[in-house]
């Protein structure tokens, strides 16, 4: 089960001053040649442990240094690699470090997917994975990764650099197709057998791309159901990657003061200077045709967000059902209706939260042959992946790209919404 709602307690993360074989030792590496991205080898200090990373450094649209540090697999590291443990940027002449906390969810950019619950032939409900005693939404950071291709050697530079991690992210499903069916009232009609299940070992590629002159990195995910020979309608799952937690308020211990997102239909916003709670009013009825996005603001200025570098009309994402979509309200929507995962599992009662988890989101019908998915009454969405699966031997690979925003702005005007509105994405 995905680990939801852990608070960020901010273990310190700094660069060591001792040299690493073949890598940089300077905690402030300095920008590369203008118009270039540089790959460094470095060691970070996390909770008293050394962590070997590949650090990518570049200059953004203002000519200021930015960096992202990706944890390596092995090399003396505990656990597994394949995700970011530090971002940095320049704000008012000061280098700001955005660090991974010591939480089980700590770090950012790994993949997570939730298996959709089913109704089984005996009337029981749950996931196929749960029938076999396994996690139906594991954190991708818990699985080993291999690297490659990697476009730059350590110390080399280029206008653009990319770094790919590969892993197997499993999904439980059925051996034979079980097409999704609904009754007239919207309740599940299909029934999944109690046997005839399979654990599909599905290849996943995560590619980070950094471009000189751009403000934000891109992350591409390719989850190859076709390579794993998954029949259409054997699986049902959503997409939550990129996923994770970073102390993007630079360890200030602030609370969430605003959240905004845009799905395939409307923009949502909610803000409260003293800290968001479940009693905060919201609007979710502003029509939106630009790029999908999801953004959090803490302490009125510290920002982390995600956006898809495509207009919503070109997106292949579909949204899950939400009764609150297209409406306003005096209290935040129920947690299960949020299209993107973040504060909905850390807010408790009337108290603000310091929990900084942020992730993407989608409907939970990937792997199926549904041609249309509904996000609410009258909100039909063509489902491209389901349409591709119709009549095919295997379900298609799921392939998408998102951009990661880290910086400082305000509750009223976020960097993420601005980036999602630009005709040329700044990533």
Task: Give residue 163's pLDDT band: very low, low, confident or very high (50, 70, 90).
Answer: very high
Confidence of residue 7 (pLDDT cuts 50, 70, 90): very low
Q: What's the CA gap between 204 and 141, in Å, rounded?
A: 12
pLDDT digits (tens, 9 = 90+) for 32-85: 789 999 999 999 887 567 899 999 999 999 999 999 999 999 999 999 999 999
How many residues are given for the chain? 427
Q: Which pLDDT score is estimated for 100? A: 93
Answer for the pair 137, 173: CB distance below 8 angstroms, yes or no.
no
Distance separating alpha carbons of residues 82 and 292, to the nearest angstrom: 25
Tens of pLDDT, residue by residue over 291-342, are 999 999 999 999 999 999 998 889 999 999 999 999 999 999 999 999 999 9
Say how far apart CA 379 and CA 258 lie, in whole Å: 26
Give pLDDT, residue 27.
56
Distance of CA 365 to the CA centre of its chain: 18
pLDDT at 412: 82
pLDDT tens digits, 331-388: 999 999 999 999 999 999 899 999 999 999 999 999 999 999 999 999 999 999 999 9
Over range 408-423, report the average pLDDT: 93
Helix (H) or strand (E) holding 416: helix 415-421
pLDDT tens, position by position, 41-52: 999 887 567 899
Is the preceding peptide bond at 414 cis, omega within 30 degrees of 0? no
pLDDT at position 22: 33
Closest CA to 58 of 156, 164, 165: 156
**What's the confidence (pLDDT) of residue 23?**
34
* Residue 187, Cβ density class (10 Å: 0-12 exposed, 13-18 middle, ≥19 buried): exposed
413 band by pLDDT with thresholds 50, 70 and 90? confident
The per-residue pLDDT for range 229-263, each reduced to its tens digit, is 999 999 999 999 999 999 999 889 999 999 999 99
- What pLDDT does residue 313 have? 86
pLDDT of residue 48: 66
pLDDT of residue 12: 34
Q: Is 358 within 8 Å of 306 (Cβ atoms)?
A: yes
Confidence of residue 102 (pLDDT cuts 50, 70, 90): confident
Contacts of 418 (CB under 8 A, 6+ apart): none
Average confidence score pLDDT of the chain: 92
* pLDDT at 194 exceeding the cut of 80: yes
pLDDT at 28: 65
CA distances from 416 to 97, 198, 305, 403 (A): 19, 40, 6, 9
- Would you say 85 and 141 are in contact if contact means Cβ atoms under 8 Å apart? no
**Model pLDDT for residues 174-191, shown as the tens digit of each residue:** 999 999 999 998 899 999
CA–CA separation, 160 and 151 (whole Å): 9
d(CA 191, CA 259): 38
Say how far apart CA 170 and CA 168 lie, in whole Å.
Answer: 6
Token pair 């074989």: residue: 21
Which of 195, 202, 193 has its CA nearest to residue 231? 202
Q: Both tokens of residue 165?
A: 């991690």
- pLDDT given for residue 19 in this prediction: 31
- Cross-strand bridge partners of residue 382: 372
Q: Find, among 98, 133, 116, the residue nearest to 12 by Cα.
A: 98
| CATH architecture of the domain covering 110-427 | Distorted Sandwich (2.70)
Percent helix, strand, coil in the chain, to 5, is 5, 40, 55
Q: What is residue 69's predicted lDDT score, i.e. its pLDDT?
A: 97
Among 46, 31, 98, CA closest to 68: 98
Q: Are the C-beta atoms of residues 322 and 337 closer than 8 Å to each other?
A: yes
For the cut 70, the answer to whether the pLDDT of residue 9 exceeds it is no
- What average pLDDT score do residues 155-167 get? 98
Tell me where in the chain the CATH 2.70.98 domain(s) lie: 110-427
Nearby residues of 415 by Cβ (< 8 Å), 6 or more positions away: 215, 295, 303, 305, 405, 407, 409
CA angle centred on 352, ends 247 and 276, rounded to 5°: 95
Is the model's pLDDT at 112 over the cut of 70? Answer: yes
Q: How far apart are CA 211 and CA 57, in angstroms?
A: 10
Instruction: Specify the higher pLDDT residue, 31 or 374.
Output: 374
């Amino acid at each position: 089960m995905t680990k939801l709602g852990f608070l960020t307690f901010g273990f310190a993360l700094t660069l060591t001053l001792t040299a690493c074989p073949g890598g940089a030792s300077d905690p402030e590496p300095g920008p590369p040649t203008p118009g270039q991205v540089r790959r460094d080898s470095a060691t970070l200090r996390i909770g008293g442990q050394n962590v070997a990373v590949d650090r990518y450094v570049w200059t953004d649209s203002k000519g200021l240094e930015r960096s992202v540090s990706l944890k390596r697999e092995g090399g003396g590291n505990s656990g597994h690699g394949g995700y970011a443990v530090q971002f940095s940027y320049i704000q008012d002449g000061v280098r700001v470090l955005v660090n991974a906390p010591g939480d089980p969810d700590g770090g950012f950019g790994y993949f997570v997917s939730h298996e959709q619950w089913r109704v089984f032939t005996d009337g029981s409900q749950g996931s196929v994975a749960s029938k076999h005693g396994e996690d139906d939404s594991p954190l991708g950071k818990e699985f080993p990764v291999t690297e490659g291709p990697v476009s730059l050697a350590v110390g080399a530079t280029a206008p653009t650099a990319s770094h790919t991690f590969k892993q197997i992210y499993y999904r439980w499903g059925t051996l034979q197709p079980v097409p999704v069916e609904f009754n007239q009232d919207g309740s599940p009609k299909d029934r999944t057998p109690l046997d005839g299940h399979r654990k599909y070992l599905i290849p996943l590629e995560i590619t980070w791309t950094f471009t000189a002159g751009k403000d934000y990195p891109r992350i591409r995910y390719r989850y190859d159901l076709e390579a794993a020979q998954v029949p259409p309608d054997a699986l049902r799952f959503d997409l939550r990657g990129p996923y994770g937690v970073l102390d993007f308020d630079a360890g200030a211990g602030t609370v969430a003061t605003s959240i905004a997102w845009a799905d395939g239909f409307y923009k949502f916003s909610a803000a409260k200077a003293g800290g968001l709670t479940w009693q905060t009013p919201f609007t979710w009825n502003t029509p939106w045709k630009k790029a999908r996005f999801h953004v959090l603001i803490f302490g009125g200025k510290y920002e982390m967000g995600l956006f898809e570098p495509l207009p919503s009309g070109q997106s292949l994402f579909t949204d899950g059902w939400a009764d609150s979509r297209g409406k306003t309200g005096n209290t935040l929507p129920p947690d299960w209706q949020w299209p993107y995962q973040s504060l909905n599992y850390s807010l408790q009662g009337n108290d603000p939260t310091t929990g900084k988890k942020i992730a993407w989101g989608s409907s939970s019908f990937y792997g199926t042959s549904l041609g249309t998915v509904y996000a609410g009454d009258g909100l039909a969405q063509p489902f491209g992946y389901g349409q591709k699966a119709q009549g095919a031997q295997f379900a298609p690979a799921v392939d998408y790209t998102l951009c990661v925003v880290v910086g400082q702005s305000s509750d009223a005007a976020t960097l993420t919404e601005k980036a999602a509105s630009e005709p040329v994405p700044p990533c």
